[in-house]
Copies of this chain bind each other. A is one copy, B any other.
Amino acid sequence: MSMDFAPPKYAQVMRAIQERIESGEYAPGDMLPSETQLVRELGVGRTTVVRALQTLAMQGWIEREHGRGSFVKGRPESGADRVRPSLTATEQGESPESLVEVARVSAPRYVAKLLGVAERTPVIMRRRAAREGDLPSAVETVWIPLEIAVGSDLDKPEPLRSGIRRHLQAVKHLRFDHITERVTARKPTKDEVELLGSSNPVLGVLSTVHDPAGTVLLAMSLALPGSLHELEDVYKVS
């Protein structure tokens, strides 16, 4: 009784072609074998070959031209290699040295706006100074509504070794769904200058973390010194 699963044939065909592209056997610009040739070569039906080719085209590996053939484009860029500073911040663990402050404060206007609550509503604030080697590399401030923080230890000055995301998932069963992020350039605040040891311009990132229903779970403010951080992004042009 063998428990071996064979992936579907169309996926095998896709893999075969992807490997030939990555190995350089099929170079960008080359024409692929025609559908009927692949049918003969691989011993599958045309339906299967067509499905594989169309999926590859949708994923950006190849381009298909009616009446001419299918042509290699290369390994598609995922666009997922984009830097997402807010997500990183929620996943990084806190250490005793990096955790700067945990406090219950009344929400400043911009935080209240992000959280969708009234100004001066009490919230929990956690601030952390990330380090790269010896040097301070970023200041991350998280603001948590009381409803979310209650019973989660987030109001206690103990470092969260596993990061906020895992912590909220484990303790309160909250799932992160998406993050909205706004990046600008600004001067660091006085607090940030102290922690960073420099008053050079910073990338200011304001973000909110949402659950699947769209409810705001957290707000965040990051200060990333421009001399240390670059946000890279690759995108297709229509």
Instruction: Find chain B residues with CB under 8 A from A203 CB.
Output: 183-185, 203
Q: Which size class do A's interface residues fall under?
A: 35 or more
A233 within 8 A of B: yes
Work out how many copies of this chain go into the complex: 2
Assuming the contacts A201-B201, A226-B201, asked whether A231 and B179 have C-beta atoms less than 8 A apart, the reply is: no
Top 8 A-B pairs ranked by shortest CB distance? A185-B226, A201-B201, A185-B185, A185-B201, A185-B203, A176-B237, A183-B231, A184-B226
A residues 211-230 near B (Cβ < 8 Å) are 212-214, 224-227, 229-230
A202 within 8 A of B: yes
Assuming the contacts A186-B201, A213-B29, A226-B204, asked whether A181 and B58 have C-beta atoms less than 8 A apart, the reply is: no
Assuming the contacts A183-B183, A185-B224, A230-B182, asked whether A177 and B236 have C-beta atoms less than 8 A apart, the reply is: yes
